[in-house]
Amino acid sequence: MSSRTDVPSCEPDLNGARELSSKQVQRHHENLRATGNPSHTQFGYGGRSVCRAFVYNAEAGFRFMRNATDIIRTVSRHTLAYMLFSISELFRLYDEFDPLDLLIVHAILNANVINVMNDPSLDQRFSSIHSVEPDVIKQGVSRAALSRFLSLPLETVRRRVTGLKRRKILAETKVGLIVTEQNAFRFGNNHELQKTNMLLLTKLLRDLRRAGVNGPDDLRGAKVAVSTKKAR
């Protein structure tokens, strides 16, 4: 009987998203055959590690998943892993900040550049890691909008925003709150975080491709399957 499981391991090198070696794959394979349980191996990298998971079948090895329900489940797994590892890196780099403050700061950052993301010319103009969006083009956001978006009490948002303004991270403009371009903590311009995100995104895209998802067209069957179930 074949046994499929998610086998966690960790990348020892953040500078290159390499595949597991054949010996590591063989070791996992033998462990699964002998015990039916995944072998867990963690390699440290500078006091931290970035974990990865892959779908492995003890009889067939790596495989592509083409079934619509398999696509839904595997996309959920890999995208959740991407989000959690991204959040983990954010918390690690800004460990002097309360997680809720970080959530508010990055919600504001996202709102500030929605107009950039929606304008292909601006998106290209500020695509480089060295091109920071100036404050004058940022789209502000209100406290009430943040409260609704994050499902947080308005008073909580107000209190946190006041503290972040005091640290000169946020500024009040005529169009709402923005994360200042010159903030001392490099929010919105943290090169280490941006480079790590590129590695995590590369891993996500690689894992989805391995699962048979190369683009949005590959998700159409999954959407149809969901719609059919709802109709019943």
Q: DSSP string spanning 18-36?
A: PPPPHHHHHHHHHHHHHHS
Residue 212 lies in a domain: no
Is 23 inside a domain boundary? yes
Flag whether 11 is in a domain.
Answer: yes
Whether residue 158 has pLDDT greater than 70: yes
For residue 230, being part of any structural domain is answered with no
**Domain of 103?**
95-189
Q: What was the pLDDT predicted at 79?
A: 97
| Statement to judge: residues 64 and 99 lie in one domain | no
Domain assignment present for residue 223? The answer is no
Q: Tell me how many domains the chain contains.
A: 2
- Cα separation, 18 vs 128, in Å, equals 25
For the domain that residue 142 is a member of, what is the CATH number? 1.10.10.10
pLDDT of residue 16: 40
pLDDT at 138: 97
Task: Return the exposure string of 64-96: e unless at least 16 CB atoms fall within 10 Å of the residue's CB, then b.
Answer: ebeebeebbebbeebeebbeebbeebbeebbee
What single-letter amino acid sits at 225?
Answer: A
Mean per-residue pLDDT, 204-220: 90
Burial class (CB in 10 A: 0-12, 13-18, 19+), 219: middle
11 in the same domain as 80: yes
Among 7-11, 103-107, 220-224, the range of highest mean pLDDT:
103-107
The tokens 């304008």 sit on which residue?
119
Task: Provide the mean pLDDT of the chain.
Answer: 78
- The beta-carbon contacts of 217-222 under 8 Å, at least 24 apart in sequence, are 218/71, 219/71, 219/75, 221/68, 221/71, 222/68, 222/69, 222/71, 222/72, 222/75
pLDDT computed for residue 52 by the predictor: 35
More confident residue, 111 or 68: 111
Say yes or no: 124 and 184 in one domain: yes
- Asked whether residue 115 is assigned to any structural domain, the reply reads yes
Q: How far apart are CA 40 and CA 11, in angstroms?
A: 13
pLDDT tens digit string along 162-204? 999 999 999 999 999 999 999 999 999 999 999 999 999 999 9
Tell me, yes or no, whether 131 lies in a domain.
Answer: yes
| Pair 85, 112 in one domain | no
- Reported as a single tens digit per residue, the pLDDT across 20-67 is 444 544 554 454 455 444 433 332 333 333 333 333 443 434 444 455
Residue 92 has pLDDT above 80, yes or no: yes
